[in-house]
Amino acid sequence: MTLQDKLFGFRGRVRRKDWWWLNILVGIAQIITMFALASVVSIANLGSSTTPVAPFEAVAALPAYILLPIQLAFLWPTLALSTQRLRDRGWSAWPIVAYYVVIYGVDYLPETATSWFTGLAPGQQSPLLMAWGLLWIGMALGFFVVLGFLDGTQGPNRYGPSPKGIGAQSPAALFD
């Protein structure tokens, strides 16, 4: 499987080692891209303000129409790698897709969709935020363990041959 297939394709299986390295590289590329863009925006806005902006504040201040396409561009390889890793374990990709749809969907909901929440008293908001945070952290940790630490299916499964070559036929067996 080529690097392009691993980063942009959703077929086949990928090893833990490849999943780790490629996710780390995608994460570093995303951080560099976000900070570079935030620096450009910060420098452009410096003419109107004399106070320099911290990099994390500059990233947070980026408008959604700039931030969302960049996040979606980096989400694609992350989803591709996670899908292939789940398939290496013999799972469907739907759990990780649902996780990212919910996470990104909540972040980019229009203000009118969350007005019921902001209408609650602060004492009523805290338990909901706590439950949402615990659910998100629990799912993230679960996926982290499943994708990053648990071994894949030994030998071929319904998603393809083992990326480690385990269970593959020997070339001599093909001529028997």
Q: How do residues 124-151 score in pLDDT, each as one tens digit?
A: 777 877 888 888 899 999 999 999 999 9
More confident of the two residues 127 and 123: 127
Residues 104, 75 contacting (CB under 8 angstroms): yes
45 close to 115: Cβ distance less than 8 angstroms: no
Q: Averaging pLDDT over each range in 36-50, 62-76, 97-111, which range is the top one?
A: 62-76
Can you spell out the DSSP letters for 38-57? HHHHHHHHHTT-SS---HHH
pLDDT score of 163 more than 60? yes
Evaluate the CA torsion angle 98, 104, 106, 111 in order and state its sign: negative
The lowest-confidence range among 80-89, 142-151, 162-171 is: 162-171
Q: What pLDDT is recorded for position 46?
A: 59
Average predicted confidence (pLDDT) for the chain: 84
Q: Say how far apart CA 40 and CA 46 lie, in whole Å.
A: 10
